[in-house]
Amino acid sequence: MGVERRARATSGRLDLVPEGDVVLRTARRLHAALAGRLLEGCDLRWPSLATSDLTGYTVLEVRSVGKHLLTRMDGELPLTLHSHLRMDGSWHLHRTGSTFTGRPAEGVRAVLVTAAWTAVGHQLGMLDLVRTDQEDSLVGHLGPDLLDPSLDLEVAVDRLMADPDRQLGEALLDQRVLAGAGTLYMAESLFLTGLTPWSPVGDLASPERLVALLVRMMTQNTVRPVQSMTGDLRPGQQNYVHSRSGRPCRRCRRPVRVADIGQAPQQRPAFYCPGCQRGPAPALSRPRAGPQPHAR
Ligand SMILES: [Zn+2]
């Protein structure tokens, strides 16, 4: 898959890129609809969970950890349904009994039915069911959650600076370092920091400022109708560089570029401005011409 195609896939078909802020919003919506409610029906369309039935369980809470969603339930024993949206996943709510037509039925991976609301998980990237006291087997590897209100900035900075030779973009995408940011927040925060994604972590003049910036950008977007990095909510005006390769930088007018960050097969698209961001960049990264359906 080419870098541009992966970039489009990263943007997703929806208006929202499923990074930590979107996952937190999803958790809030699901929690408001399901918490305290009895599951009257359940359909898990996932090979390893085909025989699992959560009917009769009561949803206790839905919360996010980084980009992971945890739906905690009580029944015969406390269980947690873990899901991850990856690039294209989403959860939708509709009134129980009404026909849901928002997404193709073949993409449905999970259905949780309460008397009032039905939650439908589409194109989920992961789905697991574990005892609640074993959640750590699924999320214990994560670094500090950038959207955790009790985030210790000092601990987060220490995690980021643990390997000063590592490329900044790779470190920010590594959920074991800091949990919640993906290609969108990595690209946009590094544009505002003025370093390319291939710069070593040790080049950061103020890692505290970068972590605080990430927290602020992501937190602001948990309450906005759309994700915006620029503060402008109009379509096409929301991002500085992400999904804007070939288009003029909003500051210096040079074409925004995109190139891979990370080692194959884990590489991801990294957007940057060669004028505004100093530091190394792959020699072959070129501005791309032509329309980009998900330019943001
Ligand atoms: Zn620029």
- Domain identity same for 121 and 233: no
In a shared domain, residues 37 and 108:
yes
C-alpha triplet 245, 175, 30: angle, nearest 5°? 90
Q: Are residues 173 and 264 in the same domain?
A: yes
**Would you say residue 6 has pLDDT above 80?**
no
CA of residue 86 to ligand 1 center, whole Å: 29
- Same domain for 135 and 163, yes or no, is no
Reply yes or no on whether the pLDDT at 108 is more than 90. yes
Which residues are catalytically annotated? 18-19, 67, 268
Q: How many CB atoms lie within 10 A of CB 96?
A: 14
User: How many helices (DSSP H) and strands (DSSP E) are in the chain?
Assistant: 7, 10
30 in a domain, yes or no? yes
Percent above pLDDT 70 for the chain: 91
Gap from CA of 278 to ligand 1 centroid (Å): 10
Measured distance CA(42)–CA(57) in Å, rounded: 10
C-alpha–C-alpha distance, residues 215 and 185, integer Å: 10
Distance (Å, rounded) from C-alpha 262 to C-alpha 281? 12
Q: Residue 190 C-alpha to ligand 1 middle, in angstroms?
A: 12
Q: Which residue range(s) make up the domain with 195?
A: 153-272
- Residue 65 is predicted with a pLDDT of 98
pLDDT of 1 strictly over 50: no
pLDDT reported for residue 104: 84
Whether residue 122 is found in the same domain as residue 78: yes
Judge whether 286 lies within some domain: no
Distance from Cα 177 to the centre of ligand 1, integer Å: 28
CA of 191 to the centre of ligand 1 (A): 8
Going through 124-185 in order, the beta strands assigned E by DSSP cover 126-131
Same domain for 210 and 97: no
Q: Rounded CA gap, 85 and 68, in Å? A: 8
> What per-residue confidence (pLDDT) applies to 285?
54
CA–CA distance, 82 with 229 (Å, rounded to integer): 29
Q: How many domains in the chain?
A: 2
- Kindly state whether residues 183 and 209 are assigned to the same domain: yes
Last residue of a domain, one of 79, 110, 139: 139
Same domain, 93 and 70: yes
Distances (CA, A) of 79 to 65, 70, 72, 76: 16, 10, 6, 9
Residue 22 lies in a domain: yes
**What is the predicted pLDDT for the residue at 265?**
87
Q: Are residues 134 and 163 in the same domain?
A: no
Whether residue 290 lies inside any domain: the answer is no
pTM to 2 decimal places: 0.89
Task: For residue 48, report the distance from its CA to the centre of ligand 1, in Å.
Answer: 48
254 alpha carbon – ligand 1 mean position (Å):
6
Encode pLDDT of 230-279 as tens digits: 999 999 999 999 999 999 999 999 999 999 999 888 899 999 999 999 99
> Does position 287 have pLDDT exceeding 70, yes or no?
no
128 and 17 in a common domain = yes
Q: Does 127 share its domain with 15?
A: yes
Given 108, 139, 170, the domain boundary residue is 139
Whether 292 has a pLDDT exceeding 70, the answer reads: no
Do residues 128 and 16 both lie within one domain? yes
pLDDT tens readout for residues 132-163: 999 999 999 999 999 999 999 999 999 999 99
Please say which residue of 110, 139, 168 terminates a domain.
Answer: 139
- 252: in domain: yes
- Interval between CA 32 and ligand 1 midpoint (Å): 42
Reading across the β-sheet that carries 117-122, which strands appear in turn? 41-44, 108-113, 117-122, 90-95
Is residue 17 one of the residues assigned to a domain? yes
The CATH number covering residue 101 comes to 3.20.190.10
In a domain, 279, yes or no: no
| CATH number assigned to the domain comprising residue 227 | 1.10.8.50
Residue 145: inside a domain = no
List, for residues 165-209, the tens digit of each pLDDT value.
Answer: 999 999 999 999 999 999 999 999 999 999 999 999 999 999 999
- Measured in angstroms, how far is the CA atom of residue 147 from the centroid of ligand 1? 28
